[in-house]
Structure 1
Amino acid sequence: MEDGEIRPSNFDVLFDIIAAAQSDVVIDNGASSFVALSHYLISQQVPARLKNMGHELVIHTAITGGQALADTVNGFQELAGQFPEDVLLCVWLNPYWGKIEYEGKEFEQMRAYQNHHARVSGLVRIPSLNKDTFGRDFSDMLRARLTFAEAIAMPDTPIIVRQRLTMIQRELFGNMANARVL
């Protein structure tokens, strides 16, 4: 950013780094830069360029329950419609704010998913967590910017909290293992 504005030309340096990479690269951007980055990727035909260089582009997107359900489903549909067909999508289903359900239909039964399911390399279900125990422990771990291994190995982490984190990790990693491409 410069003077409070996103400068798309600054993404050029990022893609030089990606092009030279010999291993996976993850770009984790927030909502404030999402539209600008997506526009840059599409307008500069970055997916095709990366593919020609032997890279595979996988876009991860979250579907949340509750009030944001419609917005996140629409966001998924926009991504699928705007990016080239060979760009895969990995969808993370996050029930933290409520069930991922609309008019009795789960995500896989919704029109957005039905229209684009061939593009989805994986559906990763984030476990539904009791907010007072499992959810609190998981949130605390994320807020502290710890991995599961780090949080579980900390000697001052209570034993039952370690157990809950181990249970979350087991379920989440099992769900991730079902994805074709992460």
Structure 2
Amino acid sequence: MATIHFILQGKGGVGKSMVAVLLYQALEHFEKEVLAYDTDPVNTTLASFREFNVTALNIMKDGNIDARMFDALLEYLANAPEGSHVIVDNGASSFLALGRYMEESEVLPILTEAGHAVFFHSIVAGGQAIGDTLKGLARLAVNFPESPLVVWLNPYFGEIALDGQEFEEFQIYKKYSPQFHALIRLPEGNKTLIGKDLEELLAKRQSFAAGINGSSTSIAVKARLRRYWNQILACVEQADLL
């Protein structure tokens, strides 16, 4: 049995690819065999990390899913190595089209019948993006009621709160919490310090190991990256994804 992680969110620029990068590295840290497919037709962030085992696949054609390309992806997923973890990073621009295709083609039953575990990961961001990201999460919960959801809460853009209520008090949580396998809260930090460190790490397409051990990384930056990375590892371990 393999474990397949689809990372899906219809709102762009909310940290989706960052989540894919974090999940990939965390799974490798825990000595899992990790494969990944970057299907984002606009920003192939994950595939641009040379340290990672990622295949870029353009599954979109003229605004719709290219059935032949997705059929090939489905074949790869169905035959994933025993015990491996496979990450599929999907772009915001293809969120709706991919959702429709997965429903019509019964992708989840095919994968589960092949013996694989399937998780949907989605990001809820604070600030102005909160409404759109909640809509994206709700669409997944409604359209794929049998697939466990992992919700990544990203406070980088602002507090994840509505009318003084936290996420666990939101109506969406009360309604769909049985489908939520885990909530992963990305650590908060000073945007001008760890926020800037993470931006530079991502821009350089470097892993945490490369950043922490790099000879050109200052002592202060190494310390902040190490602390953040340890927090991420603890979150992933507690999420019971291993």
TM more than 0.5: yes
| Unmatched segments (≥5 aa) in structure 1 | none
Counterparts of 1:154-173 in structure 2, within 5 Å, are: 154-173=214-233
Q: 1:14 aligns with which of 57, 73, 98?
A: 73
Offset of residue 104 of structure 1: 0.9
Answer yes or no: is the 8 Å Cα contact 2:78–2:110 preserved in 1: no
Scaled by the length of structure 2, what TM-score is found? 0.71
Q: 1:39 aligns with which of 88, 92, 100?
A: 100
2:27 equivalent in structure 1: none
Offset of residue 153 of structure 1: 0.9
2: CA distance between counterparts of 1:7 and 1:81? Answer: 21
Answer yes or no: is the 8 Å Cα contact 2:65–2:98 preserved in 1: no
Q: 1:111 aligns with which of 154, 171, 175?
A: 171
Q: Which structure has the higher relative contact order (CA within 8 Å, separation 6+)? A: 2
Asked if residue 149 in structure 1 is aligned to residue 233 in structure 2, the reply is no
Counterparts of 1:74-93 in structure 2, within 5 Å, are: 74-85=135-146, 87-93=147-153
Offset of residue 5 of structure 1: 3.1
Q: CA RMSD in A?
A: 1.3
Offset of residue 8 of structure 1: 3.3
Answer yes or no: is the 8 Å Cα contact 1:89–1:120 preserved in 2: yes
CA-to-partner distance for each residue in 1:102-134, whole Å, 9 max, x for gaps? 011111111101111111111111111211111
1: CA distance between counterparts of 2:108 and 2:145? Answer: 7
Q: Which deviates further from its counterpart, 92-101 or 24-33? A: 24-33
Higher strand share goes to which structure? 2
| Corresponding residue SS for 1:57 | strand
1: CA distance between counterparts of 2:179 and 2:65? Answer: 30
Give the count of matched residue pairs. Answer: 180
Larger Rg: 1
1: CA distance between counterparts of 2:102 and 2:65? Answer: 13
Runs of 4+ in 1 over 2 A off after TM superposition: 4-8
Answer yes or no: is the 8 Å Cα contact 1:90–1:181 preserved in 2: no
1: CA distance between counterparts of 2:145 and 2:168? Answer: 21
